[in-house]
Structure formats: structure tokens, C-alpha cells
Amino acid sequence: MTRVQGLGAPWGSGHAELLPRGHRVGDWVVTEPIGAGGWATVYAGHRADERAVRAAARLGEAAEVALKIMPTAGLAPRQARNVAEAARREVEIGVRAGHPRLIRLLDSTVLDAPDHPALDGAVVLVMERATGSLRDLLDSGVTEAEGGRLIAGICEGLAHLHRVGWVHADLKPENVLIGADGSVRLSDFGLATELTGTHGYAAPMGTLDYLPPERWRARLGERGVQIRPSADIWALGIVIHEVFASGAPLFPGATPVARGAAVQEYAAGRAPLRMAQGIPEFWRALAADCLAPTHAARAAHSAGSLLERITAAGAGESAPARRSRPPRLGRAARAVLVAVAACGAAGSALWSYAAREAHEEPPRRIRVFNAERACQDRTDRDPRCSLGLAVDPMRPYTAGNVVPTRVWHADVLDADCQLLRGEAVIDESDLRSTHWFRVRLPGPDREARAWLPAVRTNDRPELPPCPAPAST
């Protein structure tokens, strides 16, 4: 076991206090926190021994590493076993399934910290450090050629994993890391499942937005639920859509569970697969194959065969570049809540969707959706339940960037075009999107326009792209 040296602060109220800057864990020194998830906190670090640092530099190894700390103290026995099992999977894949498209495991250890019970027994995984994730790139925008290269790298990593008998089982942009040279590295194998024949078994866990239709109704047996490589292919289809739709979700819904219901409607043949406009035809067809509604239909499209199609089309290397996203504000400024405080006078009343049936909806009208359940059944147009329309979708969605006219849940607006690459917006249920609709304001001025974020509607009408407005 590795002892923690110089630890000044106990666990405290948050992971940021777990390992302060400058503290040593075995052969490594913590420099700063990188991020935190449900089971772990990740820190940047470097070798404690300067001679080792210089030796690594001579060998061309990175001086900085990522330290993934997975505490087990204070957990129920089953939870502790889950953490230990997740760590075991990561180590096993790092040792047995090494590949240039998988994040590299450099070391692993267990902390010995008897004076700090919250740390005692924590698992530490030392990995090569990436410069960011695919999610970060979606925040700032990628060209079509760059997106194709990234997807080809993901396919290469998945093909290797499947070939050596593993399913990733949690593929998403956050788990696709980008190296300093721009290369793709699949990461976070805590839910990876080893195949025994055509499938494996795992606990019913995963990121809801990337689960295939069959997982929503999978039977839970003594060994867990069945996991097959086609689950990764489904998640790849979702990722392809997000890459070319600037992170916009494919299935409608204000929450992951609601979007999961939309997935099941599609799988049952009761709803079509509606991708965002502007996705290049090659990638649209590839994503559609990945998103075949059944395992049997998806099984025909392995990661290897998809990579062959990408290579044959030259889409992973030399696809023509599409126009990149306009310059954006800092990430902290982008992650603003869509719930804008009630301000200004309420505008003219909009006609209510009320009793209109979906099939009667005019083709370019969209219905407003408020994720606050308490506001969905109200008809009194209380200002506290009103929502703002933006003046400029390229600026932060704050009170200073909304028009005086307010809208409410179930109002219907006329939309004339859509913008896929606007300012990122997050609603109350943590749904995040850069997708906006330009809508007509009610009233006598038929030319008055404003912008509704796509997280404020479940509708996805076929609309032409809007020209990117010049920010003021």
C-alpha cells in the first residue's frame, strides 16, 4: 500500500479538499483537481523525484499524469465492492488491452492513510493525462474533417476493445479524451464488461442518454443485465450525431428519462428517427446504421466494419472542412442556467396549445416546454413561471440578453429557422444544448424576432439553418 504524505486537510465537505496541491501519493505529487464523478476524483500530478521527471522527459514520456482517486471508506460493503470491481476492470484493461486508442495506465496503488480514515483504502490509478475531452471540443466546435478523424479514432478504439473481448458500456463524449497531439483515447472503463461468448453481464448502470433501447427493458438476473458490443455501437451513433450537431441531443425530452421514453417510442416504430439538419449525408447514414432499433439489426455493423467504411470514404482524414463555429466565450460563461429571473413586463399573450392534437400542429410551430413540473399545470401565466427569449443566441443567456416579451409552458411560437451552434444552455434538469430556434414574437410587428433555446421545447421541426447573428 502507498502512504499519503503531508496531508493537511481531511475529506471535508467536498472532493476538492481531499488532496490539496503539493501533497504526495507514493511516487506522485498532486498539482490540481481536474474533475470529479460519482466514484472518483481526478487530479493532475507529476513524479515526485526530479530525476525520474528528467528520465521520463528523455524517454519522451509526459511529465504530467492524471491521478484517479477512488475512495472506499464510509461506503456500504456492496458499494465498496463496486468501486473495487470498477478499479479492477480499469487495471485489467490497462494491462491486457493496451492500445494507442485507449488511455494508458501507468501505475495503480491503494492508499494507506490510517490517520485519515476517509482516505484509507482508496484506490489510485495513475494514467497518462489528456488535454481535454470530446465534450470540450463540442463546446468550441469542430470542422467536418476534424469530426470525422475523431470518430474514426473512436471506432478504432472500440474495434480493439471488442476484438479482445470487452464492451466499453459507457461510451460518451466525456469518456473520449484528446491527447496533446490531438489523438483520441477512450477512457473510464469502470463499467466495462468482459464478454463470455457473444455477451457479458453487468450491473444495470450507465449513462441514460447513451443506453440502447433494449437496455431500458432488459431483465435483471442474478448476474446482472446482458451487455453486448451492439450497445457500444448504439452509443457511437449518439456520439456521431452530437459531433455534427454541436452537442445537441438526438431524442427529444427535458430529462434523461424522458429522452429514454423517446428512444423506446422510436424502437417500437411509433416515432421516426429525426436527426438535426446540417449533418453530412455520409455521417447521417453511418449514424442511422448505428442507431438501428434492435440488437440484431445493429449487430451487422461492427466497429471494425464502420471504420472500414470511414476509411474507404476518406471521411476520417480528408473530408472537406465545414465552417467552424464562431469564437465563443469562456467555458464558465457558457454553462449558464436557462432559468432566467423574471424581469420586465409580461408581453402580449400567446395563444395556448391547449387542446390541439399533435397531428394538427402547423409544420413550423413549436410548443414551449418548461422543465419545472410545478409550472406545467398552471394556466394563470404567473411571472415566476415565465421563460425568456434571447436577443442574441451567441451571448450568455442571462437577464440582460432577453426581450421583454415572456412565454409560458405550452405556448406555441412560429419558428422560421434553427441555429445549431449558439451559446450553450443548461436547463433545470441538466439538459445541455447549443441548439436554438429563431421565433416570431406575437403582436402587430410581424418582423419582430427572438431566440428560443432548444432545451425549452420538445419539438424538432424540419427548419432551414439560420445565419449566425453578429454578436453585439
By annotation, the residues acting in catalysis are 170
Question: Positive or negative CA dihedral for 24, 45, 330, 343?
Answer: negative
**Beta-carbon contacts of residue 117 (< 8 Å; ≥ 6 apart):** 73, 74
CA separation (Å) from 225 to 169, 172, 215?
A: 12, 20, 8
Cell numbers 523525484: residue: 49
Helix axis angle, 229-244 to 303-313, nearest 10°:
40
CA 267 to chain centre: 22
Instruction: Report yes or no: 406 and 347 within 8 Å, Cβ to Cβ.
Output: yes
| Residue 259 half-sphere exposure toward CB, CA atoms < 13 A | 24
Q: What is the C-alpha to C-alpha distance for residues 258 and 355, in angstroms, rounded to an integer?
A: 22
Instruction: Report yes or no: 245 and 418 within 8 Å, Cβ to Cβ.
Output: no
- At residue 371's C-alpha, the angle toward residues 369 and 377, to 5°, is 75
Which uninterrupted H or E stretch holds 145? helix 144-163
Query: Running DSSP on this structure, what letter comes out for residue 184?
Result: E
352 CB neighbour count, 10 Å cutoff = 15
| 3-state SS, residue 440 | strand
Three cell numbers at 256?
434523461
Q: What is the C-alpha to C-alpha distance for residues 109 and 15, in angstroms, rounded to an integer?
A: 19
Q: Which of 348, 91, 416, 375 is nearest to 254 (CA)?
A: 375
Q: Starting at the edge strand that comes first in sequence, how are the strands of the sheet with 432-433 ordered?
A: 336-337, 425-426, 432-433
